[in-house]
Structure 1
Amino acid sequence: MVKVATFFGMSFGAFLFWQTMDKVHVWIALHQDEKKERLEKEADIRIMKEELYQQQKERDSLA
Structure 2
Amino acid sequence: MVKVAGFFAMSVGAFIFWQTMDKIHVWNALRQDEKQERFEKEMEIKRVREELLRQAKDKDALA
The structure 1 segments of at least 4 consecutive aligned residues displaced by more than 6 Å after TM superposition are none
User: Partner residue of 2:51?
Assistant: 51
Matches within 5 A, 1:1-63: 1-63=1-63
> In the comparison of the two structures, how many residue pairs are matched?
63
Identity %: 67
How far off its partner does 1:62 sit?
A: 1.4
Q: TM-score, normalised by structure 2?
A: 0.97
Provide structure 1 residue ranges, at least 5 long, that are not aligned to the other structure.
Answer: none
Q: Report the RMSD for the aligned CA atoms in angstroms.
A: 0.5
Q: TM-score, normalised by structure 1?
A: 0.97
Deviations along 1:10-29, one digit per CA (max 9) or x if unpaired, are: 00000000000000000000
